Amino acid sequence: MAGVFADLTQPTETMNENATDLAVDVTGISKRFGDKTVVNAIDLQVRRGEIYGFLGPNGSGKTTFIRMLCGLLTPDGGSGKCLGFDVLTQQAEIKRHVGYMTQRFSYYEDLSIRENLDFIARVYDVRDRRNAVEQSLERLGLRNRSAQLAGELSGGWKQRLALAACLLHSPQLLLLDEPTAGVDPKARRDFWDEIHRLAADGLTVLITTHYMDEAERCHRLAYLAYGKLLTRGTLDEVLAAARLVTWTVSGPNLRRVSDALRGRDGVEQIVAFGNTLHVSGRDAAKLEAAINSVRDPRHEWNRTRSGLEDVFISLMDGATDNFK
Protein backbone atom coordinates (compact mmCIF):
# COMPACT_ATOMS: atom_id res chain seq x y z
CA MET A 1 0.00 0.00 0.00
CA ALA A 2 2.91 2.38 0.66
CA GLY A 3 3.71 2.63 -3.05
CA VAL A 4 0.12 3.38 -3.97
CA PHE A 5 -0.05 6.32 -1.61
CA ALA A 6 3.44 7.71 -2.25
CA ASP A 7 3.68 11.53 -2.32
CA LEU A 8 0.01 12.02 -1.42
CA THR A 9 0.80 14.21 1.57
CA GLN A 10 3.07 16.54 -0.40
CA PRO A 11 1.83 20.04 -1.37
CA THR A 12 0.01 20.20 -4.69
CA GLU A 13 -1.01 22.97 -7.03
CA THR A 14 -4.60 24.13 -7.24
CA MET A 15 -6.86 22.43 -9.78
CA ASN A 16 -7.16 24.36 -13.05
CA GLU A 17 -10.36 26.38 -12.76
CA ASN A 18 -10.57 26.65 -16.57
CA ALA A 19 -10.57 22.89 -17.11
CA THR A 20 -13.07 21.58 -19.65
CA ASP A 21 -16.04 19.42 -18.82
CA LEU A 22 -13.88 16.35 -19.50
CA ALA A 23 -12.55 14.52 -16.46
CA VAL A 24 -10.41 12.33 -18.71
CA ASP A 25 -9.07 13.42 -22.09
CA VAL A 26 -6.24 11.27 -23.40
CA THR A 27 -4.95 10.48 -26.89
CA GLY A 28 -2.75 7.63 -28.11
CA ILE A 29 -2.04 6.24 -24.64
CA SER A 30 0.18 3.16 -24.92
CA LYS A 31 2.07 0.84 -22.60
CA ARG A 32 4.57 -1.90 -23.34
CA PHE A 33 6.04 -4.59 -21.14
CA GLY A 34 9.08 -6.01 -22.88
CA ASP A 35 8.17 -6.62 -26.51
CA LYS A 36 4.40 -6.78 -25.82
CA THR A 37 2.15 -3.78 -26.29
CA VAL A 38 -0.58 -4.26 -23.69
CA VAL A 39 -2.31 -0.88 -24.25
CA ASN A 40 -2.19 0.23 -27.85
CA ALA A 41 -2.79 3.90 -28.72
CA ILE A 42 -6.08 4.40 -26.86
CA ASP A 43 -8.06 7.61 -27.14
CA LEU A 44 -10.64 8.16 -24.40
CA GLN A 45 -12.75 11.07 -23.21
CA VAL A 46 -14.89 10.85 -20.07
CA ARG A 47 -17.22 13.70 -19.12
CA ARG A 48 -17.44 14.98 -15.56
CA GLY A 49 -20.29 13.38 -13.64
CA GLU A 50 -20.44 10.45 -16.04
CA ILE A 51 -20.41 6.70 -15.31
CA TYR A 52 -18.18 5.21 -17.99
CA GLY A 53 -18.10 1.44 -18.37
CA PHE A 54 -14.79 -0.06 -19.46
CA LEU A 55 -15.22 -3.63 -20.66
CA GLY A 56 -13.10 -6.40 -22.07
CA PRO A 57 -11.81 -9.93 -21.41
CA ASN A 58 -9.14 -10.75 -18.85
CA GLY A 59 -5.74 -9.60 -20.06
CA SER A 60 -7.19 -6.95 -22.38
CA GLY A 61 -5.25 -4.08 -20.76
CA LYS A 62 -8.08 -2.51 -18.72
CA THR A 63 -6.21 -2.50 -15.40
CA THR A 64 -3.01 -1.22 -17.01
CA PHE A 65 -4.94 1.63 -18.61
CA ILE A 66 -6.60 2.56 -15.31
CA ARG A 67 -3.24 2.57 -13.53
CA MET A 68 -1.89 5.00 -16.10
CA LEU A 69 -4.89 7.29 -15.57
CA CYS A 70 -4.45 7.45 -11.80
CA GLY A 71 -0.69 8.02 -11.87
CA LEU A 72 0.55 4.57 -10.84
CA LEU A 73 2.10 3.81 -14.24
CA THR A 74 3.71 6.11 -16.77
CA PRO A 75 2.53 5.72 -20.38
CA ASP A 76 5.17 4.85 -22.97
CA GLY A 77 3.32 6.85 -25.59
CA GLY A 78 0.48 9.30 -26.00
CA SER A 79 -0.59 12.34 -24.04
CA GLY A 80 -3.53 13.85 -22.23
CA LYS A 81 -5.00 14.98 -18.96
CA CYS A 82 -6.84 13.51 -16.01
CA LEU A 83 -8.81 16.09 -14.01
CA GLY A 84 -6.80 18.82 -15.71
CA PHE A 85 -3.41 17.32 -14.81
CA ASP A 86 -0.92 15.92 -17.30
CA VAL A 87 -0.81 12.10 -17.15
CA LEU A 88 2.90 12.11 -18.00
CA THR A 89 4.26 14.78 -15.69
CA GLN A 90 1.73 15.46 -12.90
CA GLN A 91 1.09 12.00 -11.52
CA ALA A 92 1.44 13.01 -7.85
CA GLU A 93 -1.26 15.67 -8.31
CA ILE A 94 -3.58 13.20 -10.03
CA LYS A 95 -3.30 10.77 -7.11
CA ARG A 96 -4.62 13.35 -4.68
CA HIS A 97 -7.85 13.81 -6.63
CA VAL A 98 -8.57 10.22 -7.66
CA GLY A 99 -10.05 7.31 -5.72
CA TYR A 100 -8.87 3.90 -6.96
CA MET A 101 -10.57 0.66 -5.93
CA THR A 102 -8.44 -2.31 -7.00
CA GLN A 103 -9.62 -5.78 -8.00
CA ARG A 104 -8.25 -7.30 -4.81
CA PHE A 105 -9.13 -6.16 -1.31
CA SER A 106 -6.06 -4.13 -0.31
CA TYR A 107 -6.77 -2.98 3.23
CA TYR A 108 -5.49 -4.30 6.54
CA GLU A 109 -7.40 -7.40 7.62
CA ASP A 110 -6.10 -7.24 11.20
CA LEU A 111 -7.52 -3.72 11.67
CA SER A 112 -11.17 -2.88 12.23
CA ILE A 113 -13.28 -1.02 9.69
CA ARG A 114 -12.90 2.20 11.66
CA GLU A 115 -9.14 1.75 12.07
CA ASN A 116 -8.70 1.15 8.34
CA LEU A 117 -10.65 4.28 7.47
CA ASP A 118 -8.75 6.33 10.03
CA PHE A 119 -5.44 5.14 8.59
CA ILE A 120 -6.46 6.08 5.05
CA ALA A 121 -7.69 9.47 6.26
CA ARG A 122 -4.25 10.06 7.82
CA VAL A 123 -2.49 9.06 4.59
CA TYR A 124 -4.52 11.59 2.61
CA ASP A 125 -4.19 14.19 5.38
CA VAL A 126 -7.97 14.60 5.41
CA ARG A 127 -9.15 17.66 7.29
CA ASP A 128 -11.33 17.01 10.35
CA ARG A 129 -10.32 13.36 10.08
CA ARG A 130 -12.55 11.98 12.82
CA ASN A 131 -15.69 13.59 11.41
CA ALA A 132 -14.82 12.40 7.90
CA VAL A 133 -14.50 8.83 9.15
CA GLU A 134 -17.83 9.06 10.99
CA GLN A 135 -19.59 10.40 7.91
CA SER A 136 -18.08 7.65 5.77
CA LEU A 137 -19.24 4.96 8.19
CA GLU A 138 -22.75 6.41 8.16
CA ARG A 139 -23.04 6.84 4.39
CA LEU A 140 -21.92 3.31 3.53
CA GLY A 141 -23.92 1.66 6.32
CA LEU A 142 -20.81 0.57 8.21
CA ARG A 143 -21.41 2.16 11.60
CA ASN A 144 -22.81 -0.96 13.31
CA ARG A 145 -19.82 -2.98 12.09
CA SER A 146 -17.16 -0.32 12.65
CA ALA A 147 -15.34 -2.39 15.30
CA GLN A 148 -15.33 -5.58 13.21
CA LEU A 149 -11.99 -6.71 11.80
CA ALA A 150 -11.73 -6.29 8.04
CA GLY A 151 -10.53 -9.87 7.69
CA GLU A 152 -13.83 -11.14 9.13
CA LEU A 153 -16.00 -9.34 6.55
CA SER A 154 -17.86 -11.02 3.69
CA GLY A 155 -17.14 -9.97 0.13
CA GLY A 156 -19.99 -7.48 0.06
CA TRP A 157 -18.92 -5.75 3.28
CA LYS A 158 -15.29 -5.64 2.15
CA GLN A 159 -16.55 -3.95 -0.98
CA ARG A 160 -18.32 -1.30 1.11
CA LEU A 161 -15.21 -0.69 3.18
CA ALA A 162 -13.08 -0.32 0.04
CA LEU A 163 -15.53 2.15 -1.46
CA ALA A 164 -15.69 4.12 1.79
CA ALA A 165 -11.89 4.33 1.85
CA CYS A 166 -11.79 5.54 -1.77
CA LEU A 167 -14.22 8.36 -0.99
CA LEU A 168 -12.62 9.64 2.24
CA HIS A 169 -10.55 12.34 0.55
CA SER A 170 -13.49 13.56 -1.62
CA PRO A 171 -12.03 12.55 -5.00
CA GLN A 172 -13.29 14.03 -8.26
CA LEU A 173 -12.76 10.78 -10.19
CA LEU A 174 -13.43 7.25 -8.99
CA LEU A 175 -11.67 4.38 -10.76
CA LEU A 176 -13.23 1.01 -9.95
CA ASP A 177 -11.51 -2.13 -11.24
CA GLU A 178 -14.06 -4.99 -11.31
CA PRO A 179 -15.43 -3.92 -7.91
CA THR A 180 -18.36 -6.37 -7.80
CA ALA A 181 -16.52 -9.57 -8.69
CA GLY A 182 -17.42 -12.32 -6.23
CA VAL A 183 -20.24 -10.53 -4.40
CA ASP A 184 -23.90 -11.53 -4.27
CA PRO A 185 -26.61 -9.93 -6.47
CA LYS A 186 -28.08 -7.87 -3.61
CA ALA A 187 -24.66 -6.41 -2.77
CA ARG A 188 -24.07 -5.66 -6.45
CA ARG A 189 -27.39 -3.82 -6.74
CA ASP A 190 -26.75 -1.81 -3.57
CA PHE A 191 -23.29 -0.92 -4.83
CA TRP A 192 -24.62 0.36 -8.16
CA ASP A 193 -27.33 2.37 -6.45
CA GLU A 194 -24.57 4.12 -4.47
CA ILE A 195 -22.51 4.72 -7.64
CA HIS A 196 -25.48 6.41 -9.32
CA ARG A 197 -26.04 8.59 -6.25
CA LEU A 198 -22.38 9.64 -6.33
CA ALA A 199 -22.55 10.44 -10.06
CA ALA A 200 -25.71 12.47 -9.52
CA ASP A 201 -23.69 14.53 -7.01
CA GLY A 202 -21.06 15.23 -9.69
CA LEU A 203 -18.49 12.47 -9.15
CA THR A 204 -17.03 10.95 -12.31
CA VAL A 205 -16.78 7.14 -12.35
CA LEU A 206 -14.78 4.87 -14.63
CA ILE A 207 -15.62 1.24 -13.90
CA THR A 208 -14.43 -2.04 -15.38
CA THR A 209 -16.81 -4.99 -15.30
CA HIS A 210 -17.56 -8.33 -16.93
CA TYR A 211 -21.27 -8.16 -16.13
CA MET A 212 -23.47 -7.11 -19.05
CA ASP A 213 -26.29 -5.92 -16.77
CA GLU A 214 -23.82 -3.60 -15.05
CA ALA A 215 -22.53 -2.32 -18.38
CA GLU A 216 -26.08 -1.35 -19.31
CA ARG A 217 -26.27 0.86 -16.20
CA CYS A 218 -23.39 3.03 -17.45
CA HIS A 219 -23.90 6.28 -19.34
CA ARG A 220 -21.31 5.31 -21.95
CA LEU A 221 -19.20 2.26 -22.73
CA ALA A 222 -15.85 1.32 -24.22
CA TYR A 223 -14.75 -2.20 -25.16
CA LEU A 224 -11.08 -3.19 -25.08
CA ALA A 225 -9.55 -6.40 -26.39
CA TYR A 226 -5.86 -7.30 -26.61
CA GLY A 227 -4.89 -3.71 -25.81
CA LYS A 228 -7.01 -2.11 -28.55
CA LEU A 229 -10.16 -0.05 -28.18
CA LEU A 230 -12.74 -1.73 -30.44
CA THR A 231 -15.86 0.35 -29.83
CA ARG A 232 -17.24 3.09 -27.62
CA GLY A 233 -20.38 5.16 -27.13
CA THR A 234 -23.76 4.92 -25.46
CA LEU A 235 -25.42 1.51 -25.24
CA ASP A 236 -27.55 2.24 -28.31
CA GLU A 237 -24.55 3.56 -30.24
CA VAL A 238 -22.44 0.48 -29.45
CA LEU A 239 -25.23 -1.87 -30.48
CA ALA A 240 -25.95 0.07 -33.68
CA ALA A 241 -22.27 0.31 -34.67
CA ALA A 242 -21.88 -3.48 -34.47
CA ARG A 243 -24.48 -3.98 -37.25
CA LEU A 244 -25.09 -7.43 -35.82
CA VAL A 245 -28.27 -9.34 -36.70
CA THR A 246 -29.47 -11.93 -34.20
CA TRP A 247 -32.12 -14.66 -34.32
CA THR A 248 -33.28 -16.81 -31.43
CA VAL A 249 -34.44 -20.39 -31.81
CA SER A 250 -36.17 -22.63 -29.28
CA GLY A 251 -37.40 -26.22 -29.45
CA PRO A 252 -36.00 -29.76 -29.27
CA ASN A 253 -32.51 -30.94 -30.23
CA LEU A 254 -30.92 -27.51 -30.35
CA ARG A 255 -27.50 -29.15 -30.39
CA ARG A 256 -28.34 -30.55 -33.84
CA VAL A 257 -29.48 -27.14 -35.00
CA SER A 258 -26.21 -25.65 -33.80
CA ASP A 259 -24.14 -28.33 -35.51
CA ALA A 260 -26.10 -27.87 -38.76
CA LEU A 261 -25.60 -24.09 -38.78
CA ARG A 262 -21.99 -23.95 -37.72
CA GLY A 263 -19.71 -22.98 -40.59
CA ARG A 264 -22.51 -21.92 -42.94
CA ASP A 265 -22.10 -18.70 -44.89
CA GLY A 266 -23.48 -15.75 -42.93
CA VAL A 267 -23.37 -17.44 -39.51
CA GLU A 268 -20.74 -15.76 -37.33
CA GLN A 269 -21.68 -17.01 -33.87
CA ILE A 270 -24.00 -19.46 -32.17
CA VAL A 271 -24.42 -19.08 -28.41
CA ALA A 272 -26.63 -21.01 -26.01
CA PHE A 273 -28.82 -18.92 -23.67
CA GLY A 274 -30.79 -21.25 -21.41
CA ASN A 275 -33.33 -23.09 -23.59
CA THR A 276 -32.62 -21.02 -26.68
CA LEU A 277 -29.81 -20.38 -29.13
CA HIS A 278 -28.71 -16.96 -30.34
CA VAL A 279 -27.57 -17.12 -33.96
CA SER A 280 -25.86 -13.98 -35.23
CA GLY A 281 -24.13 -12.48 -38.24
CA ARG A 282 -23.60 -9.15 -39.97
CA ASP A 283 -25.09 -10.03 -43.36
CA ALA A 284 -28.83 -10.27 -42.73
CA ALA A 285 -29.64 -11.93 -46.08
CA LYS A 286 -26.95 -14.60 -45.82
CA LEU A 287 -27.85 -15.29 -42.19
CA GLU A 288 -31.54 -15.75 -43.01
CA ALA A 289 -30.67 -18.01 -45.94
CA ALA A 290 -28.56 -20.19 -43.62
CA ILE A 291 -31.41 -20.36 -41.10
CA ASN A 292 -33.95 -21.23 -43.80
CA SER A 293 -31.78 -24.17 -44.87
CA VAL A 294 -32.20 -25.84 -41.46
CA ARG A 295 -35.71 -24.69 -40.49
CA ASP A 296 -37.88 -27.33 -38.89
CA PRO A 297 -41.58 -26.91 -37.88
CA ARG A 298 -40.67 -28.12 -34.38
CA HIS A 299 -38.54 -25.00 -33.82
CA GLU A 300 -39.61 -21.43 -33.27
CA TRP A 301 -37.42 -18.75 -34.83
CA ASN A 302 -37.60 -15.04 -33.98
CA ARG A 303 -35.45 -12.13 -35.03
CA THR A 304 -34.45 -10.18 -31.93
CA ARG A 305 -32.35 -7.19 -30.93
CA SER A 306 -28.72 -8.11 -30.49
CA GLY A 307 -27.60 -7.77 -26.87
CA LEU A 308 -24.32 -6.52 -25.47
CA GLU A 309 -23.07 -10.04 -24.94
CA ASP A 310 -23.80 -10.92 -28.60
CA VAL A 311 -21.93 -7.79 -29.71
CA PHE A 312 -18.94 -8.29 -27.45
CA ILE A 313 -18.52 -11.94 -28.39
CA SER A 314 -18.57 -10.86 -32.02
CA LEU A 315 -15.96 -8.17 -31.39
CA MET A 316 -13.81 -10.62 -29.48
CA ASP A 317 -13.98 -13.20 -32.25
CA GLY A 318 -12.66 -10.60 -34.70
CA ALA A 319 -9.83 -9.32 -32.48
CA THR A 320 -6.19 -10.37 -32.84
CA ASP A 321 -4.36 -11.71 -29.79
CA ASN A 322 -1.36 -9.48 -29.03
CA PHE A 323 0.47 -12.38 -27.32
CA LYS A 324 0.55 -14.67 -30.36
pLDDT band at 324 (very low <50, low <70, confident <90, very high): low
Same-domain check for residues 216 and 249:
no
* This prediction's pTM: 0.84
Q: Is residue 10 situated within a structural domain?
A: no
Same-domain check for residues 293 and 157:
no
pLDDT reported for residue 91: 93
3-state secondary structure of 214: helix
Percent residues over pLDDT 90 in the chain: 68
Same-domain check for residues 284 and 161:
no
Same-domain check for residues 34 and 155:
yes
Q: Is residue 43 situated within a structural domain?
A: yes
Per-residue pLDDT reduced to its tens digit, 114-157: 999 999 999 888 989 999 999 999 988 899 999 999 999 888 88
Q: Is residue 91 situated within a structural domain?
A: yes
pLDDT reported for residue 4: 39
User: Nearest 5 degrees, angle CA 317-CA 78-CA 27?
Assistant: 70
Adjacent-strand bridge partners of 277: 249, 272
Same-domain check for residues 215 and 140:
yes
Asked whether residue 89 carries a pLDDT value surpassing 90, the answer given is yes
Can you tell me the distance from the alpha carbon of 73 to that of 61, in angstroms, rounded to the nearest whole number? Answer: 13
Q: Is residue 41 situated within a structural domain?
A: yes
- In whole angstroms, how far apart are CA 302 and each of 277, 281, 313? 11, 14, 20
Tell me the average pLDDT of the chain.
Answer: 88
Same-domain check for residues 289 and 217:
no
Asked whether residue 322 carries a pLDDT value surpassing 60, the answer given is no
Same-domain check for residues 120 and 265:
no
Q: Is residue 77 situated within a structural domain?
A: yes
Same-domain check for residues 205 and 88:
yes
Which CATH number goes with the domain that contains 301?
Answer: 3.30.70.330
Same-domain check for residues 93 and 153:
yes
3-state secondary structure of 30: strand
Same-domain check for residues 34 and 85:
yes
Can you tell me the distance from the alpha carbon of 194 to that of 51, in angstroms, rounded to the nearest whole number? Answer: 12
Same-domain check for residues 178 and 265:
no
Q: Which of 301, 298, 297 is nearest to 287 (CA)?
A: 301
| Domains: count for the chain | 2
Adjacent-strand bridge partners of 223: 55, 231
Q: Which of 58, 43, 82 is nearest to 228 (CA)?
A: 43
pLDDT reported for residue 122: 92
pLDDT band at 321 (very low <50, low <70, confident <90, very high): low
Q: Is residue 144 situated within a structural domain?
A: yes
Same-domain check for residues 85 and 167:
yes
User: Could you list the residue range(s) of the whole structural domain that residue 256 is in?
Assistant: 245-305
Cβ atoms of 215 and 304 within 8 Å: the answer is no
Asked whether residue 242 carries a pLDDT value surpassing 50, the answer given is yes
Asked whether residue 176 carries a pLDDT value surpassing 60, the answer given is yes
pLDDT band at 301 (very low <50, low <70, confident <90, very high): very high
Q: Is residue 97 situated within a structural domain?
A: yes
| Residue that is last in its domain, among 177, 210, 233 | 233
Can you tell me the distance from the alpha carbon of 46 to that of 187, in angstroms, rounded to the nearest whole number? Answer: 26
